[in-house]
């Protein structure tokens, strides 16, 4: 009995994959780890599989597309392994519908994954506490429908085109098979090699789901006769693989149609499918030369990848890239930071401060408020917007009138910029109620599907589609997809040039909001605002002979000849929120080429920029205000318990140094900010107060009796409640973020805002 099981065709195929197809099996294993939330949880990968969104909502349609994509991936696995290893099992040539029979026997790995995935996603959805469990059944039927439809169409194609051995030798397809000489010779060699193999198969699972013994004597058949069956199957698989890949590429031409922006999980599995097909094709055609040829190909591609044709820059929309590039060198930086220029910028900002002062009674000194927001993808955007709305309610509409500047990084700045724009519109149209909950839904709507889909069908190939903005043409990329989706989600309210904020900021109708991405070339910040702010990059009172290295570069001065004022505002937001591999680094028109990256790498909390501004204008603040209030909006805990870690294993030791740098980056920046704030508070001649808001999952759990000072009672509670770092949030994550405003600490912070004694602005 055991021999019968071990030498059955399904088990022998499994052993074969474990021996030589581990790379293909690793894709299944990776998907399984993601589905069980054991990989990529921090950035939300599991939720793409367990809770897929389509057209900005989780529905059966989203699960349908995941089912279709998983079906395509499964069939690519079957086709690739059949091409690679089918000839090892000569009996396939003389049984009916050999490829379909092969798929049935090759289904152990896919079947295990399907069962475990269904368990994972159904458990996850039931934990979401749907009011009606029929919703979960609806999702299951959508997924099943997509999978079954895919299998039906593909098996129908193979059933109609693949001929049985005995029908084939009736002479119906001889001419077509003779045209493919190279594959025939290749397969003939494989059949000869397979005769020497010791692989033994006793029986196979028939399409009637019964095991049949293999009794045929194949010695009476010539090798070229067996060849024709495999050759014909191979030809049909090549056709269907070409059609599938072509279909994906054609979809890319219409990728801006929301109906074609399939869930990110489906895009990822289609990418896996293409990789699987390519691996199979290369291995089949090149055989033992596959590895060296692929390595040479990779090296050759790397060598030519820096050509203009293959390495076209990811641009900032609105800038003029046809002009002579700006000189990006120490000499030009020194010219731009001349003391006269710095003083000119300072005086312009003093005019803004005077306009801010005019909003309040002349006989009373108002509090000046600064808001510092942290990065953190979409969760930071939603958390920032929620806190600003609640702070405005708590202060009875006064806090934002007192706010002079907003600083920060990444998603937090996007949320703050959205709130600021709504606040501006409210001043001219009372119908724009900037405190409505609907804006929370808008800022937290999915922004990931179009990005991943564009990566699959456009950015991984040669970008060749353009769009026009303010009379200039720019290449479309996933950065364009990000901006377009952000515009759709927010109804286009921030689709402006940066110069359109010059007047309202100058008149102090809204707070200043400099965007400060990191320049990867030299580690400086790029200060993007509607006007020059060079004083943020160097000391005003620097002395001769003391060479102070500038800490930032003023965007308006650097790119004045490249229409810096026409920079698209949401392009600037994207520059400060460049998530690695998701949105591309932007290249700016300078020589050498300037590249920017996420603001969070230099100051994820915005505290440094706020304190720098306060320091520069301390004399004015002392004379015209009753003190400064710094409101910090963090998307992470400031105080975390020190963990007891077990002794590391060997492989853990190899990665521990890099891991420690990554996990402590937040703590290092927090400690640096604490030092800066403490010194400022001790040295300034006016009161400097701080009010802190935190998206704290630990506090959230404590308030619900699920944790104490040492942490959550259940090891999985922390992961369940913590929203992921991503541009897409699940319904449960959104609820966790919004409900966090009711934590004990955040309610105390709102009470502090109520007690600030803010002045009522003059009409």
Find, among 322, 318, 333, the residue nearest to 557 by Cα: 333
* Residue 68 confidence class, pLDDT cut points 50, 70, 90: very high
Q: Do 179 and 105 belong together in one domain?
A: yes
* Element spanning 333, H or E: helix 330-336
What are 670-686's pLDDT values in tens digits?
Answer: 999 999 999 999 999 99
**What residue spans of 684-741 are helical by DSSP H?**
697-703, 717-721, 731-739
Whether the pLDDT of residue 138 is over 90: the answer is: yes
pLDDT at 215: 63
Query: Which residue matches tokens 């934990």?
Result: 127
Percentages of the chain per state (helix, strand, coil), in multiples of 5: 60, 10, 30
d(CA 442, CA 485): 11
Interstrand relation of 586-588 and 711-712 (parallel, antiparallel or unpaired):
unpaired
Q: Do 283 and 385 belong together in one domain?
A: no
R_g over Cα of the chain: 31
Average pLDDT over residues 531-541: 89
- Residue 230's alpha-carbon distances to 88, 165, 185, 214, 737, in angstroms, are 11, 10, 12, 18, 56
* Residue 406 confidence class, pLDDT cut points 50, 70, 90: very high
DSSP 337-379: T-HHHHHHHHHHHHHHHHHHHTTS-TTSPPPEEEEEE---HHH
Q: Do 353 and 470 belong together in one domain?
A: yes
| 3 state SS of 615 | helix
Q: Do 94 and 32 belong together in one domain?
A: yes
Find, among 451, 441, 514, 461, the residue nearest to 483 by Cα: 451
CA dihedral sign, ordered 50, 53, 57, 62: negative
Whether the pLDDT of residue 595 is over 80: the answer is: yes
Interstrand relation of 403-408 and 466-469 (parallel, antiparallel or unpaired):
unpaired
133 and 126 Cβ atoms separated by less than 8 Å: yes
Which of 305, 336, 365 is at the close of a domain?
Answer: 305
Q: How many angstroms from the chain centroid is the CA of residue 411?
A: 12
* Total domains in the fold of the chain: 2
**What residue spans of 553-649 are helical by DSSP H?**
555-558, 569-575, 600-603, 607-616, 618-624
Average pLDDT over residues 108-126: 94
Q: Would 703 be classed as within a structural domain?
A: no
Q: Which residue has the higher pLDDT, 407 or 56?
A: 407
pLDDT at 157: 81
Half-sphere exposure of 96 toward its Cβ, with a 13 Å CA cutoff?
7
CATH of the domain at 398: 3.40.1090
pLDDT at 242: 75
Which of 305, 336, 367 is at the close of a domain?
Answer: 305
Whether the pLDDT of residue 714 is over 70: the answer is: no
Average pLDDT over residues 588-609: 92
696 and 721 Cβ atoms separated by less than 8 Å: no
* Element spanning 275, H or E: helix 264-286
pLDDT at 541: 73
Count of beta carbons in the 10 Å neighbourhood of residue 294: 15
Q: Give the CA dihedral 160, 165, 168, 170, nearest 10 degrees.
A: -130
pLDDT at 173: 38
Q: Would 696 be classed as within a structural domain?
A: no
Q: Do 298 and 336 belong together in one domain?
A: no
d(CA 463, CA 474): 11
Whether the pLDDT of residue 485 is over 90: the answer is: yes
* Residue 216 confidence class, pLDDT cut points 50, 70, 90: low
The structure tokens listed for 230 are: 């495999």
CA dihedral sign, ordered 65, 66, 70, 73: positive
Which of 305, 335, 350 is at the close of a domain?
Answer: 305
d(CA 24, CA 88): 18
d(CA 681, CA 687): 7
Tell me how long the chain is: 763
d(CA 179, CA 499): 64
What are 628-659's pLDDT values in tens digits?
Answer: 999 999 998 888 777 777 777 766 666 666 66
Average pLDDT over residues 689-700: 86
Q: Do 281 and 334 belong together in one domain?
A: no
d(CA 270, CA 456): 8
Q: Would 365 be classed as within a structural domain?
A: yes
616 and 540 Cβ atoms separated by less than 8 Å: yes
Whether the pLDDT of residue 228 is over 60: the answer is: no
Q: Do 508 and 443 belong together in one domain?
A: yes
> How high is the mean pLDDT of the chain?
84
What are 495-517's pLDDT values in tens digits?
Answer: 999 999 999 999 999 999 999 99
Q: Do 124 and 211 belong together in one domain?
A: yes
pLDDT at 746: 94
Q: Do 341 and 270 belong together in one domain?
A: no
What are 231-270's pLDDT values in tens digits?
Answer: 666 667 777 777 777 777 777 777 788 888 899 999 889 8
Q: Would 699 be classed as within a structural domain?
A: no
Q: Which residues of 267-285 are buried (b: 16+ CB within 10 A; e: fewer)?
A: bbbbbbbbbbbebbbbbbe
Whether the pLDDT of residue 717 is over 70: the answer is: no
Find, among 457, 381, 378, 465, the residue nearest to 53 by Cα: 378
Q: Would 722 be classed as within a structural domain?
A: no
Average pLDDT over residues 570-581: 90
Q: Would 519 be classed as within a structural domain?
A: yes
Whether the pLDDT of residue 227 is over 80: the answer is: no
Taking every pair of Cα atoms in the chain, the longest distance, rounded to a whole number of angstroms, is 109
pLDDT at 190: 45
411 and 419 Cβ atoms separated by less than 8 Å: no
Q: Do 296 and 347 belong together in one domain?
A: no
- Which domain does 415 fall in, by range? 326-629+676-690+727-738
pLDDT at 601: 83
pLDDT at 726: 85
Q: Do 388 and 532 belong together in one domain?
A: yes
pTM: 0.87
Q: Do 529 and 394 belong together in one domain?
A: yes
pLDDT at 395: 95
* Residue 179 confidence class, pLDDT cut points 50, 70, 90: very low
Q: Would 133 be classed as within a structural domain?
A: yes
* Residue 448 confidence class, pLDDT cut points 50, 70, 90: confident
Find, among 383, 361, 365, 363, the residue nearest to 373 by Cα: 383
What are 411-420's pLDDT values in tens digits?
Answer: 999 999 999 9
d(CA 608, CA 672): 9
Q: Would 706 be classed as within a structural domain?
A: no
The structure tokens listed for 381 are: 């955007």
Least confidently predicted of 115-119, 392-396, 441-445, 717-721: 717-721
């Amino acid at each position: 009995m055991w021999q019968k099981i071990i030498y059955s065709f399904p088990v022998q195929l499994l052993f074969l994959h474990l021996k030589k197809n581990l790379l293909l099996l690793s894709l299944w294993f990776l998907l399984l780890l993601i589905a069980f939330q054991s990989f990529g949880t921090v950035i939300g990968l599991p939720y793409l599989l367990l809770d897929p969104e389509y057209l900005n909502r989780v529905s059966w349609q989203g699960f349908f597309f995941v089912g279709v994509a998983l079906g395509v991936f499964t069939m690519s696995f079957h086709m690739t392994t059949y091409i690679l290893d089918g000839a090892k099992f000569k009996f396939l040539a003389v049984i009916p519908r050999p490829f379909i029979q092969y798929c049935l026997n090759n289904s152990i790995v896919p079947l295990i994954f399907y069962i475990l995935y269904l368990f994972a996603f159904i458990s996850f959805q039931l934990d979401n506490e749907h009011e009606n469990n029929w919703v979960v059944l609806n999702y299951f039927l959508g997924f099943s429908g997509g999978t079954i439809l895919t299998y039906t169409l593909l098996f129908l194609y193979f059933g109609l085109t693949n001929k049985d051995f005995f029908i084939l030798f009736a002479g119906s397809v001889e001419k077509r098979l003779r045209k493919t000489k190279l594959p025939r010779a290749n397969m003939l060699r494989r059949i000869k090699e397979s005769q020497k193999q010791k692989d033994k198969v006793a029986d196979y699972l028939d399409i009637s789901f019964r095991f049949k013994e293999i009794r045929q004597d194949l010695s009476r058949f010539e090798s070229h006769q067996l060849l024709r069956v495999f050759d014909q199957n191979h030809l049909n698989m090549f056709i269907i693989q070409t059609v599938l890949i072509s279909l994906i590429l054609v979809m890319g031409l219409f990728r801006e149609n929301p109906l074609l922006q399939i869930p990110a999980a489906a895009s990822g599995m289609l990418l896996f499918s293409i990789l699987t097909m390519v691996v199979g094709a290369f291995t089949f055609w090149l055989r033992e030369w596959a590895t060296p040829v692929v390595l040479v190909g990779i090296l050759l591609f790397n060598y030519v990848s820096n050509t203009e044709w293959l390495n076209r820059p990811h641009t900032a929309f609105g800038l003029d890239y046809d002009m002579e590039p700006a000189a990006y060198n120490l000499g030009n930086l020194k010219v731009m930071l001349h003391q006269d220029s710095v003083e000119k910028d300072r005086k312009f900002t003093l005019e803004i401060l005077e306009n801010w002062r005019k909003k309040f009674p002349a006989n009373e000194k108002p509090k000046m408020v600064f808001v510092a927001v942290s990065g953190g993808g979409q969760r930071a955007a939603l958390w920032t917007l929620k806190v600003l709305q609640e702070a405005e309610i708590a202060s009875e509409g006064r806090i934002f009138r007192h706010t002079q500047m907003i600083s920060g990084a990444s998603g937090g700045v996007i949320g703050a910029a959205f709130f600021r724009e709504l606040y501006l519109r409210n001043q001219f149209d009372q119908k724009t109620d900037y405190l409505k909950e609907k804006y929370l839904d808008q800022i937290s709507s999915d922004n990931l599907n179009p990005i991943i889909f564009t990566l699959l069908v456009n950015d991984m190939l040669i970008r060749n589609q353009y769009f026009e903005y303010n009379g200039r043409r720019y290449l479309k990329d996933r950065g364009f997809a990000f901006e377009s989706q952000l515009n759709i989600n927010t109804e286009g309210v921030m689709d402006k040039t940066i110069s359109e904020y010059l007047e309202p900021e100058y008149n102090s109708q809204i707070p200043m909001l400099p965007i400060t991405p990191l320049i990867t070339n030299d580690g400086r910040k790029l200060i993007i605002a509607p006007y020059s702010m060079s004083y943020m990059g160097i000391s005003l009172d620097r002395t001769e002979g003391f060479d102070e290295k500038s800490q930032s570069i003023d965007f308006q001065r650097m790119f004045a000849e490249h229409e810096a004022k026409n920079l698209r505002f949401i392009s600037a937001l994207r520059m400060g929120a460049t998530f690695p591999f998701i949105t591309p680094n932007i290249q700016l028109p300078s020589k050498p080429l300037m590249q920017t990256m996420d603001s969070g790498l230099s100051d994820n909390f915005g505290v440094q920029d706020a304190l720098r501004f306060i320091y520069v204008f301390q004399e004015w603040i002392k004379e015209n205000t009753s003190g400064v209030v710094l409101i910090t909006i963090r998307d992470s805990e400031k105080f975390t318990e020190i963990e007891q870690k077990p002794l590391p294993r060997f492989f853990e030791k190899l990665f521990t140094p890099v891991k420690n740098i990554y996990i402590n980056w937040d703590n290092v920046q927090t400690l640096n900010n604490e030092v800066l704030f403490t010194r400022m508070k001790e040295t300034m001649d006016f009161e400097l107060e701080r009010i802190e808001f935190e998206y704290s999952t630990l506090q959230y759990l404590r308030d619900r009796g699920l944790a104490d000072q040492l942490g959550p009672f259940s090891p999985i509670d922390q992961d369940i409640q913590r929203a992921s770092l991503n541009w897409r949030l699940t319904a449960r994550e959104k609820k966790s973020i919004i409900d966090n405003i009711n934590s004990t600490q955040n309610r105390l912070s709102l009470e502090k805002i109520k007690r600030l004694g803010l002045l009522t602005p003059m009409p």
